[in-house]
Structure 1
């Protein structure tokens, strides 16, 4: 009794590959194959490039948040005093509280901070800025601020003046060594009321945190000077807390509240930016669905090409069936025709997508040159450049989606070929 060849035998691959090769008599089939292959490649490349850019944007956005801001902040609620007057919430024993918080498991450091808003002026230019009063050691511990590669000046000179963002320096036309004036509406008490406080400070350090909104609005001032300037003698406004795993910052909320005592509140980095991150996650899902539809449309060309191939190969199918090929073998031959197209197109798409992700900076520079500048506006997007981050999971799901769709769409024309009656196929031959 003759043995039945096992499924996907070598001869099935050879027949499928032969059918895919270009022949002048079947130019239409060859053209459809190339259209299908290019369509799948472009769809996969677009999907990988989009996922890489979205992942890079999110990673850069989060890194700029965590690299220039506290992971969470402990502060006191305002207090009601006599006659309905509200006193601002301040922390008097800030050194002891900071030491207590720093001793919590998982907390890397805790820093007392004085905060206030001012108007900053230089000659005829002015801007609004937020001042952070902290110690030199605390400033040096902020990664995005203490970055000699992009900063100007020596951070060790911080106690001799103030540190300002590069955006403020650019808008005010300020360089190292220049003196700028800070104007606070909450100044000294006089018989005529509260007068604005105006002090001049030397710019000893200019930093670039990588976020547009931080670089153009933030100023760092020595803690003791900030306490004097904002009328916060011997108190701090808040304790900035940094932890080992910022992604799990919510795990520290309860321990921090217990350590800070009554009236304390906690504000995490997720509270300030969580809505934007959730919007990014939703946008990622929507973009994946949209591009998945694009890949599906590209793979539908495989169906069109296979239908034409089955029609042109009707005589061959009849001969193969009379020679003993089973319906399953014929179906597998044409399934492999579509699978080859999907696999080759997917591989080409992965290569194109990876190359795009690795060279996205050069591509954006070219686009910016073509458009005459302004293709990437940091004032809208927050960060200064379009980043890309290749992740194994993104590559896997892009490849899996393309291959799955490529295999599924080949089933219908392959079944049609398998069910073709050999007698009908050879009747007019």
Structure 2
């Protein structure tokens, strides 16, 4: 498409000094601008992808992908119990559904946790020790204390609690905390709160602040006793092979329990946040695309100046027999070359940023004196970045497309220059 001498002329113009009528300074400004714009775009897309991946991973890694909540039996007051006595049979039935990896019965409840004079609300999940070990983020947390194998020991009273919950209460693995439930033992004088002390056998950090601040795991049989659920379970928690396909699997889950309940998926609990995150991602991409456009417009400015300075050269080349198409291709190569080189540099910088974000962020945090990232606001414990091939290709495509488009107009102006007018005063 481009002949050898066209490449030679274009390269000669790009590296020409200012005294020779070149635009070396403008070339560098355009190149640096495009490189920084592409770098910013790739870095933002990487952080965006990493944030969504980490957010979803903490959800599906520490929570069930779907929860079957039974209707239960009708009480004399017309209310449903919301529990099921056939929890093992339901769990076995759900485990047979294609795509389901685990189905476990649990008991849930809200309590007040107290230790060392500190009090905070907490969510208790009663679960069997073997089923707790199958929760990925709990079994392999970001950091932990104690031993998950100790869960359920000490006469079935060893419990596991979240990292920030332990920090709030000032306890570590091996200490004891008190759990207070307002729905305690029923007496002739009313319902008295239930207060009981438990040994903290395991402390975990799944990387999601709201989970680490409120989550307590209690042995299943102990939770049944503590929350007055003897012989019943509150729900069946289901894990599947592909969490992204949970909506498509919901009808099969309902069919497995013969519609004796309803399904609540992880998308139902986090759907609003994910939609807001997606909208923010689209807005950020548009804003950064404008930044890339502004950077590529520097190419137009530089080429306009180059065409003006090289008017005599264009006239001579035209009188030597070069066609308008040849002149257009020469100046197109000048602008496209800047765009390609700037894009390559930007891609390299963006990829390096995504790959080495941890030491970079650690350095920024050290310079700022710490406290740059607040997990109580961001929900996850660290700034993530995930390099996706699609994000890199979209940034490259955007940069090259804009670079090529803005190059066409000054190149056409050069090609249409009248050689007589260009050489009249030479």
State TM-score, norm by structure 2: 0.97
Distance 2:72 2:141 in 1: 39
- Which residue does the alignment assign to 2:130? 137
Q: Note the 1:320-339 alignment, pairs <5 A.
A: 320-339=317-336
Cα deviation for residue 80 of structure 1 reads 4.6
- Which residue does the alignment assign to 1:361? 358
Aligned pair partner of 1:215 in 209, 212, 227: 212
Distance 2:36 2:44 in 1: 12
Cα deviation for residue 85 of structure 1 reads 4.8
Contact 1:71 1:246 in 2 (8 A): yes
Structure 1 residues 53 and 149, CA, compared in 2 at 3 Å: closer, same or farther? closer
CA deviation string 1:199-247 (max 9, x = no partner): 0000111111111110110000000000000000000000000111111
1:65 and 2:59 are equivalent in the alignment:
yes
Comparing 254-263 and 339-348, the one that deviates more: 254-263
Cα deviation for residue 130 of structure 1 reads 0.3
Q: Note the 1:24-423 alignment, pairs <5 A.
A: 24-26=18-20, 29-77=23-71, 80-82=74-76, 84-147=77-140, 150-160=143-153, 161-423=158-420
Cα deviation for residue 27 of structure 1 reads 7.0
Structure 1 residues 401 and 116, CA, compared in 2 at 3 Å: closer, same or farther? same
Cα deviation for residue 287 of structure 1 reads 1.0
Q: Which secondary structure does the structure 1 equivalent of 2:171 belong to?
A: coil
Contact 1:116 1:230 in 2 (8 A): yes
Distance 1:123 1:348 in 2: 56
Q: Which secondary structure does the structure 1 equivalent of 2:85 belong to?
A: coil
Contact 2:142 2:206 in 1 (8 A): no
Cα deviation for residue 22 of structure 1 reads 3.4
1:19 and 2:20 are equivalent in the alignment:
no
* Structure 2 unaligned residues grouped into runs of 5+: none
Distance 2:49 2:419 in 1: 53
Contact 2:176 2:199 in 1 (8 A): yes
Contact 2:30 2:295 in 1 (8 A): yes
Q: Which secondary structure does the structure 1 equivalent of 2:143 belong to?
A: coil
Contact 1:78 1:86 in 2 (8 A): no
Cα deviation for residue 360 of structure 1 reads 1.3
Cα deviation for residue 364 of structure 1 reads 1.5
Distance 2:71 2:284 in 1: 42
Comparing 353-362 and 266-275, the one that deviates more: 353-362
Comparing 43-52 and 247-256, the one that deviates more: 247-256
What stretches of structure 1 move > 4 A for 4+ residues in a row? none
Q: Which secondary structure does the structure 1 equivalent of 2:97 belong to?
A: coil
State TM-score, norm by structure 1: 0.96
Contact 2:16 2:22 in 1 (8 A): no
Contact 1:89 1:237 in 2 (8 A): yes
Distance 1:428 1:149 in 2: 75
Cα deviation for residue 322 of structure 1 reads 0.4
Cα deviation for residue 251 of structure 1 reads 1.6
Cα deviation for residue 53 of structure 1 reads 0.6
Q: Which secondary structure does the structure 1 equivalent of 2:140 belong to?
A: coil
